[in-house]
Structure 1
Amino acid sequence: MLVSALLTSVGINTGLCFLFFILYSVLRKQPSNYEVYIPRLVAEGKSKRRSHFNLERLLPSPGWVKKAWKLSEEELLSRSGLDAVVFMRIIIFSLRVFAFAGVIGVFILLPINCTGDQLEDIDFVNFSNNSLDVFTISNVNNGSNRLWVHFCAVYVVTIFVCFLLYYEYNYVSSKRIAYFYASKPQPHQFTILVRSIPVSVGSSVSDSVERFFREYHPSTYLCHMVVRRTNKLRNLIEARAAFVSFNSRYAAATAFHLQQGIDPTQWLAEEAPEPHDVYWPFFSSSFMRRWISKLVVIVACILLTILFLIPVLVVQGLTNLSQLEVLFPFLKSILTLTFVSQVVTGYLPSLILQLFLKIVPPIMEFLSSIQGYISHSAIERSACNKVLWFTIWNIFFATVFSGSVLYQVSIFLDPTNIPAKLGVSVPAQASFFIAYVVTSGWTSTSSELFRIIPFIWSLLKRPFVRDTDEEFEVPSIPYHRDIPRILFFGLLGITYFFLAPLILPFLLIYLCLAYIIFRNQFLNVYEPKYETAGKFWPIVHNSMIFSLVLMHCIAVGIFTLKKLSLASTLIFPLPVLTLLFNEYCRKRFLPIFVAYSAETLVKKDREDQNDPSMLEFLDKLVTAYQDPALLPIQFSVHSDGLNSPLLSSTEV
């Protein structure tokens, strides 16, 4: 790719970002758009849907940026929970990493790459016609001692990233414990889910649960709720499962960790989610159906991966003008136009991939929902992992190792061949990924602010819906969509910082946009529907460790190709030390995210002993996990008769 093609892509996306910012700053002031741009404030009663007209509403203003910037972490924690804080910590962590790497990459490595002549000398007179490859490590002469600077940079950045990973893991862990201590008593803290309940002849599930837990947990057992599911066509049925509540958090945790019966296939216990986080359709599935669904999900993911190679191959073709002219000779005259060729090679490939990636998160969320998870939060964490590794494989590896599926798989069947292949292929795709960061990063984040789809939907339904003060659902942030995107850009930054440092300024701009925009969205748009207390962070840690090890493999391959075999040899300790560091973090911090310690639970239980409201809370546990479908229907009260029930309670 030429510099002119990248500049064209940067120009187009910069223009779109400014357009989205201007439109947002105007449209957010219009009362008719409050449900799109400030639904949380409307739901909280902090903003009225009707206001008097004034000229200021038609002028763009940056006041929202100042409000988002001033939002403190404590305010964010109190308004949106620990998951929102962890999400913003991902962005802050990435900013710190790439600010540090950016100083090394832009001011040290980039000049070294530019002054090499392995490929060609830079033409400063006609700068836009230079290839982006002259800014990469490929332009440094083979065997040059300058490559030792790149070698040192790999070591320094690895140490810095590991230091930050330890600091953030420790910080989020302490926040998770502090959040638990500060929280009010929650039903899921006192409850476990028990499945595969054995039922004797002439007895019911409820009788079996009552008898079992009163016998083996006599001093701590409190109550239970048998899981019952119903729908319009079927009568009330029993899936053999129950939510069993105890009189303390420690008792619930003890019951969860102990095997309840002699037969390990019966009385299976697991942690209960929050009542509003329960995914009730799960309980309609039998064990065999859940087992089959897992196989179906694996097959579906494989098929989706194969099908996604189609747009990847299309994108690869667009980056090669000569190949396009061969495949589509009728486009030859159009492709000779400078601006058209720059748009086709610099902007269009990233845009196509971005559009196809839009459908991946909802598909992965659906696939996760049929795997047997009992909570929406578990479904979203599973979908987050699926989207992340799908993106890494289909955008990074499929682009780098462009070719058939069998060719890509064959590379990983011979691990000794991986570094050499990476050393050849990864630097060659540097220009594409720089353009990808600009298109998929800048524009997609700005469109998050503008909320294109909700805005269009509100315009379409406006003529058919009366302007009333009816309640509406405030959206929640789709973590399974946004966390994988940030982590994938993190992978690109870590793997390319010493290969093509030019990517780092574009990454920093993206992260700055994400920092301001998502703080604004948490303030005005998104409302948490559940709380995992930071359980997304281990996904972040594992992704960054993978990125570091991948960078080390690429470094081994590139130094081998550059005839600096000693540097390749000296890189080998890095992945080993990184994996040892990861193992230490896994032992030190991961258990905190799996379950709370006995010390933590007992301290919290003792604090609640003197709370007079605990008796009332424990009394309500018996109905906390009742299926919403079985609750009485509640109607909203309105002044008109169109939305009120035909018969009021006084008429029955």
Structure 2
Amino acid sequence: MNPESLTASAAINFGLAFIVLSLFSILKKQPSNASIFYARRLSKRQQVHFEQSFTLSRFLPSVAWIPRAFRVTEDEILDFGGLDALIVIRLFKFGIYFFGFCSLIGLVVLLPINFGDQDEQSIIYHSMDPFTISNISAGSNRLWVHFTCLWLISFYGLYLLYKEYDEISVKRVQLLRNLRHRPDQFNVLVRQVPFCNEHNAYGCSVDHFFSKYHPNSYCSYQMIHDGKNIEDLMHQAKSVARKIEGLRGRFTVKKCDKESLLLDVSQEDDVKIALFEEKLQEIVHKIRQLQNESMMKGKELPVAFVTFKSRHGAALVSQTQQHSHPLIWITEMAPEPRDVSWRSLEIPFRILPLCKIGAIVAASLLTIFFAVPVTAVQGIAKLEKLKKWFPPAMAMELM
């Protein structure tokens, strides 16, 4: 590799890093992205302040968040991001420590060793080869320095892995102790509940099954309902409520010469507000009708959250097969309340494996289509060495 290629590679990496950081800084300022960048704050009902007005500063990158990010402690990350976020941060710190140590060893020890094992007449100033291991002659004692450095780097990497695993394990145990009374630890998610023909519902099947086979630990259950209609009506109600607030806030009575015109506008707005309020009452009435017990029973899904009296009972049910038929009464531990994906609960269980297979195939195709061009480019760049070590590569010259 020559210095120009190394400089170009460094410039590309720094340029991409600058673009990514700039996009992050701009996107996190947009109110529409609050659910992505401030999901945990919103789940805790905390307010997130944005610049509501359309200003230029919203679309300019800033670096003020970078010093604040370095001042955040691990306890704060654990509090507002959770254990998974802390593990990701520790993974980046592990990479910085490890590659920083490798760079230090390379610059302080290996680079002088490699550069010193040559004659002054053979120095080529337009190439980086004098700084690599290829500059050391065969059988040289300097190779033992490389061998020792490899062992040193390996042991340091193992030490970092052991240290990170030990500290994360301690934090995980502490987190579990602090969250001993979480309700999701007493709940089990049950899929593929059989339909009760006698009562024309799924709920009675859940109650009869767990009362019969788990009488000592079973407590209660909650069926999941198809709430698409209610969700659509809720969106309509929110939209109408926003329109009413907009009409009330837009019109302000001011003293001026055109009082008659203001009076006409006020009457028009009052009529619109009355119509919207009437529409809102109709939507609320429809929602209450859909929330009726008889209506909700017809919207039941074959999915339920079952509550147990102890964590042991919930864990026992979630980790054992409940029926001889493997595709009914499928149990798993209930997710945390903020992690529940209600839309995924509506997907039939038999389709979930197909979704997983589709995701694996998509990831495999992405990896293949990424690896093939990269391999081809690297192969062309190292064609001379390939022809030496792999003679069939000479056929590429004929193409």
User: Which TM-score bucket, shorter chain as reference?
Assistant: 0.5 to 0.7
> Displacement of 1:3 after TM fit?
0.9
1:140 aligns with 2:136: yes
Provide closer, same or farther for how the CA distance between residues 103 and 73 of structure 1 changes in structure 2, counting only shifts above 3 A. same
* Partner amino acid, structure 2, of 1:219: N
Q: Distance in 2 between matches of 1:18 and 1:277?
A: 32
Query: Could you tell me how far apart the structure 2 residues matched to 1:218 and 1:97 are?
Result: 54
* Aligned-partner residue type, residue 169 of structure 1: Y
Sequence identity percentage:
35
Task: Give the conservation status (yes or no) of the 8 Å contact 1:188–1:272.
Answer: yes
Asked if 1:279 is matched to 2:280, the reply is no
Residues in 1 aligned to 2:378 and 2:224: alpha-carbon distance in whole angstroms: 52
- Aligned partner of residue 223 in structure 1, secondary structure: strand
Q: What corresponds to 1:224 in structure 2? A: 221
Q: Residue 6 and residue 225 in structure 1: after superposition, are their counterparts in 2 closer, same or farther (change >3 A)? A: same
Which residue matches 1:68?
Answer: 69
Kindly indicate whether residue 307 of structure 2 is the aligned counterpart of residue 250 of structure 1.
no
Q: How many angstroms apart in 1 are the aligned matches of 2:324 and 2:350?
A: 22
1:167-220 Cα deviation digits (max 9, x unpaired): 211211111121122237433211112234445653543212101211222232
Identify which range, 305-314 or 190-199, moves more after superposition. Answer: 305-314
C-alpha displacement of 1:284? 4.1
CA distance in 1, matches of 2:304, 2:368: 41
Higher normalized contact order (CA 8 Å, seq sep 6+, divided by chain length): 1
Distance 2:81 2:224 in 1: 30
- The C-alpha deviation readout for 1:513-570, integer Å capped at 9, x for no partner, is xxxxxxxxxxxxxxxxxxxxxxxxxxxxxxxxxxxxxxxxxxxxxxxxxxxxxxxxxx
User: Counterparts of 1:295 and 1:177 in 2: how far apart (Å)?
Assistant: 34
1:67-111 Cα deviation digits (max 9, x unpaired): 333222122222222222212111222222223323322211222
Match of 1:49 in 2: 51
How far, CA to CA, are the matches of 1:72 and 1:275 in structure 2? 26
Code of the aligned partner of 1:168: E
Map 1:32-431 onto structure 2 (within 5 A). 33=29, 35=31, 40=38, 44-45=46-47, 47=49, 49=51, 64-117=65-118, 121-123=122-124, 127=125, 129-130=126-127, 132-183=128-179, 185-199=181-195, 201-202=197-198, 204-229=201-226, 231=228, 240-263=302-325, 266-309=328-371, 311-312=373-374, 315-316=377-378, 319=381
TM-score, scaled relative to structure 2: 0.62
Note if contact 2:379-2:386 (Cα within 8 Å) is conserved in structure 1.
no
Distance in 1 between residues matched to 2:115 and 2:33, nearest whole Å: 45
Q: Which residue of 1 aligns with 2:397?
A: none
| Alignment match, 1:364 | none
Structure 2 CA distance, aligned partners of 1:17 and 1:305? 22
**C-alpha spacing 1:98/1:190, structure 2 compared with 1 (3 Å):** same
Q: Is the 8 A contact 1:193 1:242 kept in 2?
A: yes
- 1:241 CA drift (Å): 3.1
Q: In the alignment, which residue of structure 1 is the partner of 2:7?
A: 7
**How far apart, CA to CA, are the structure 2 residues paired with 1:265 and 1:297?**
22
Cα distance in 1 for partners of 2:386, 2:301 equals 48
| Inter-partner Cα distance in structure 2 for 1:81 and 1:293 | 27
What is the distance in 1 between the residues matched to 2:207 and 2:319?
Answer: 20
1:72 is matched by which residue type in structure 2? T
Distance in 1 separating the partners of 2:315 and 2:24: 48
Deviations 1:142-177 (A, max 9, x none): 222221222222222222212221221121111112
Residues 215 and 189 of structure 1: CA distance in aligned 2, closer, same or farther (over 3 Å) = same
Larger Rg: 2
Contact 2:188 2:318 in 1 (8 A): yes
TM-score of the aligned structures, taking structure 1 as reference length? 0.40
Amino acid at match of 1:49: E
Segments of structure 1 that go 5 or more residues without pairing to the other structure are 324-399, 403-419, 422-652
Unaligned runs of 5+ in 2: 233-294, 391-399
Distance 1:84 1:180 in 2: 16
1:139 partner letter: N
Residue-pair matches, total = 312
| Pairwise CA distance, 1:237 | 6.0
Quote the offset at 1:260 in angstroms: 2.9
Q: CA deviation at 1:252?
A: 1.2
CA distance, structure 1, for counterparts of residue 348 and residue 323 of structure 2: 21
Q: Give the direction of change, closer, same or farther, for the CA distance of 1:306–1:84 in structure 2 (3 Å limit).
A: closer
State the alpha-carbon separation in 2 of the partners of residues 297 and 45 from structure 1: 35
Aligned counterparts of 2:194 and 2:366: Cα–Cα separation in 1: 40
> Residue 36 and residue 284 in structure 1: after superposition, are their counterparts in 2 closer, same or farther (change >3 A)?
closer
User: In structure 1, how many angstroms separate the alpha carbons of the residues matched to 2:182 and 2:162?
Assistant: 30
- The within-5 A match list for 1:520-539 is none
**Where do 1:449-460 residues align within 5 Å?**
none
> Residues 433-448 of structure 1: matches in 2 within 5 Å?
none
**Equivalent pair of 1:229/1:283 in contact (CA under 8 Å):** no
SS at match of 2:51: coil
Let me know the Cα RMSD of the aligned residues.
Answer: 4.5
Q: Is the 8 A contact 1:114 1:134 kept in 2?
A: yes
CA distance in 1 between counterparts of 2:165 and 2:72 reads: 23
- Cα distance in structure 1, aligned partners of 2:209 and 2:105: 64
In the superposition, relative to structure 1, how do residues 89 and 286 fare at CA in structure 2: closer, same or farther (>3 Å)?
A: same
Instruction: Call closer, same or farther: CA 1:212–1:90 in 2, change over 3 Å.
Output: same
The 8 Å contact of residues 192 and 349 in structure 2, kept in 1 or not, is answered as: no
Distance 2:96 2:106 in 1: 14
Q: Which amino acid aligns with 2:318?
A: F
Q: The residue matched to 2:351 in structure 1 has which SS?
A: helix
